Amino acid sequence: MSAANTLVDDRPGGTVALEILRTRLVASVDELAAVLARSAPTIEVGQAREFSVAICDARGQVVAVDNAAELPSIQATVSHVIDYFEFDIDDGDVVLTNDPSAGGTRVQDITLVAPYLVDSHVVGLIAVRTRIRDIGGQVGGNVNPEATELLAEGVVVTPVKIQRLGRPVRDVVAAFLLNGRRPEETRRTITAALAVLDMGKQRCAELVRRHGVDLVRQSFSYAQDYTEQIARGLVRTWRSGSYSDHRELLLASGGEPTVIRLAAEVEGGNVTLDFSESDDQSSQFVNSPAGVTASCAMRAVLAALGEAVPANGGLLRVVRVVTRPGSIVDPVQPAAVGCGMHHPGGEVTNVVAATLNPARARPVPSLTVPRPAVLCRPADNRSDQIDLGRWAIGGASATGSADGWGGPQISARGELPSVEQWEAEQYPAVESLEFAMDSAGAGAHTGAPAVEATFVLPPDLLFTLWTESLQSSVAGTDGGGAGRPGSLEFQTPDGWAPAPLVVTEAPVGAATRLRMRLGGGGGLGDPRSRDRAAVQSDLADELISPEAAHKVYRLEGQNSNG
C-alpha cells in the first residue's frame, strides 16, 4: 500500500483524504449534470442547460453544485424543504417544489430534493432544479409579460412529496402533471431528474462504503470550510470600506425608472450587500425573488474572486445579502416574477460588480446584457411556445486582457443553437445570422459584437414579446465605450418597423420576417490605444465601419467613404 493510500485509509480526518473527497464530490455533480443534459427530453435542458444539480449536507448547505449561478437560490430551497418536512423525511422520499418565495426562481423551474440516509439518519441531500416547458398559467410556456400576479404566470407548488419510501405518490404526480399543457413531456423530464437523484445517492453510498460515513460527513464540512478560507483570504486583500451605487431598470412604456440601490460593506474578510433601499416591488413581471437576487449578486462576487473559489455554502458565510420584503429585489406574493432572473436580476449583478470595483485592484466589467422576451406559437396550439430569444447572442464585455466574445460568461453555460438542428426540429426558419457592424463597445479591448438573426415567418403565428429592456446598453469600463443597444423589428409590406413593447399571444400584422439583435458588449480602455493591427482586422472582418475606424479609433486613411 502506498504512502498516499495509507494516509487515506489510516487517517480518516487527514487533510489529504478530505481533499480527495472534496474533489470527488465536485466530479460527482458534474457527472450528474452531464447525465441530466443527455437524458432530458427538451432543448431547454439538454442544450440550453437550464438546470442545476447540487449535493447538500444534512442542514441543506450546498457542498457542491454544477451551476454556480444558482448557489444561494438552490441552498435556500433545500433548506426550506428540510424545515417544511422536519422529522418527516425518509429514505426513498422525493420532494418537489417550484415556489419562488421559498428560494425558487420562477414557476417553470421545478426543484426535486431527495435525502440520503445511513442508519435512519440524514447524511446529505441531492437536489435537481430543472426547467419544464409549461405549468399552467394564462400563457403557454409561463412567460407572461402582462402578468400582474404570480398565478397568472403558472401554478405554484409548495413542497410536496411525489415519492414516499421509494414509491410514487400517484395522485400528487397526476395532479401536478394535469396542471400543465405538456404533461407527457413534463413526466419524462421528472423521470430524468429522478434518475439523477438516484444516481447521486448511489455516488454518496459509494463514498460511504469506501471511506465511512463519519469521514464523508467531515468532507461535507471541509469542502465549505475550504471555500470560506479561500474566499475570506481574497476579500481581505480588498480595500475595507463602505461603497454604494445604484442601477435603474428603464421601462420604455413610460413612468419613472425602478431603482436598485446597493450599500456594500467590506470589512475583516466579510462582505455585506444591502439592497434594502431599493424601490418597492413592481406591478409588472420584473420582480426578482430573494433567492434570485442573492444568486445574481453572488455571480458578481464569484467573478471578482476568480475561478480559484469553489462554489458552495462556504461562500455564503463570507458574503451576506440583505433585502427588504416588498421590494423589487424581494417581492411578496402575489407579485409576478417571470422576468426576474434577467431583469432586474441583470441589474443586480452589474450593480454589485460596479459597487465592489473601487475595493479591488482590477475592475470587473459588465457581466450581463439586456434581454428581451421573444416567443411564438402556432395559432392552433397553445402548448407549443418557441423561444426565439435563444438566438439573442452576444453582449460579453471586454476584460483587462482580451476582447469580449459571444455571450457574457455567466450566461454562456448552454450550447449555442445550431441552425441545422433548429430547422430540423423547430421553426421559423433562420434566413441569416451575421455579426452586426459597429455593435461592439469600442475600447483598447472591444466588447463582443452582437449577432443579428433574421427569421422567415410562416403565417398564423402568435407572438409573446417584451422588448422594454432593449433601450438599455451594456456599459464600458475604464474609458471604454458602451455597446450598441439591441433591437427587434418586423418586416411588413411597408418595410421594417420596431416590434411592439409588450404583446401577449397576438398576431403581428402582415409580418413576413423578424430581425433580432442583442446589445453589443462594453469596451474597456481608450479606443485610441487599441492595437492598430487589431483595428485593421476588425475593419477587414466588417466588425467596424470605415467611419468608426477613423473617428473612434483614429485609424489614418479611413473615412466614412472607405
Q: What percent of the chain has pLDDT over 90?
A: 84
How confident is the model at residue 318, as a pLDDT? Answer: 98
How confident is the model at residue 253, as a pLDDT? Answer: 60
The label of the residue with cell 467596424 reads: 544
Distance between CA atoms of 47 and 431, rounded to whole angstroms? 21
Output the CA torsion sign for 36, 342, 60, 157: negative
- How does pLDDT run across 499-517, given as a tens digit for each residue? 999 999 999 888 999 999 9
The residues that bridge with 375 in the sheet, in sequence order, are: 387, 464
- How does pLDDT run across 198-220, given as a tens digit for each residue? 999 999 999 999 999 999 999 99
Q: What pTM was computed for the model?
A: 0.93
How confident is the model at residue 562, as a pLDDT? Answer: 44
Report yes or no: 520 and 447 within 8 Å, Cβ to Cβ: yes
Looking at residue 180, its amino acid is: G
How confident is the model at residue 13, as a pLDDT? Answer: 64
Report yes or no: 259 and 248 within 8 Å, Cβ to Cβ: yes
- How does pLDDT run across 524-538, given as a tens digit for each residue? 999 999 999 999 999
| Residue 545 DSSP code | -
- How does pLDDT run across 274-318, given as a tens digit for each residue? 999 999 999 999 999 999 999 999 999 999 999 899 999 999 999
How confident is the model at residue 203, as a pLDDT? Answer: 98
- For every residue of 373-415, DSSP letters joined together read EEEEEETT-TT--EEGGGG----PPP-SSS---SS-GGG--SP
**Residue 97's closest CA among 34, 31, 172, 201?**
172
Distance between CA atoms of 73 and 71, rounded to whole angstroms? 6
Q: Per-residue pLDDT averaged across 350-373, rounded?
A: 92
Distance between CA atoms of 505 and 174, rounded to whole angstroms? 28
User: Which of 232-236, 292-296, 350-354, 418-422 is least confident?
Assistant: 418-422
* Number of helices (H), then strands (E), in the chain: 13, 20
**C-alpha cell read off for 171:** 395522485
**C-alpha cell read off for 173:** 404526480
- How does pLDDT run across 451-509, given as a tens digit for each residue? 999 999 999 999 999 998 888 899 999 999 999 999 999 999 999 999 999 999 999 88
How confident is the model at residue 415, as a pLDDT? Answer: 81
Looking at residue 345, its amino acid is: G
Looking at residue 241, its amino acid is: G
The residues that bridge with 111 in the sheet, in sequence order, are: 97, 129
User: What is the H or E stretch that residue 270 is in?
Assistant: strand 270-274
Contact partners, residue 450, CB within 8 Å, separation at least 6: 393, 394, 395, 435, 436, 439, 440, 483, 484, 486, 517, 518, 519, 520
Contact partners, residue 413, CB within 8 Å, separation at least 6: 49, 67, 69
Has residue 4 got a pLDDT over 70?
no
Angle at 549 between CA 546 and CA 551, to 5 degrees: 105
User: Which of 91-100, 371-380, 399-408 is least confident?
Assistant: 399-408
How confident is the model at residue 6, as a pLDDT? Answer: 36
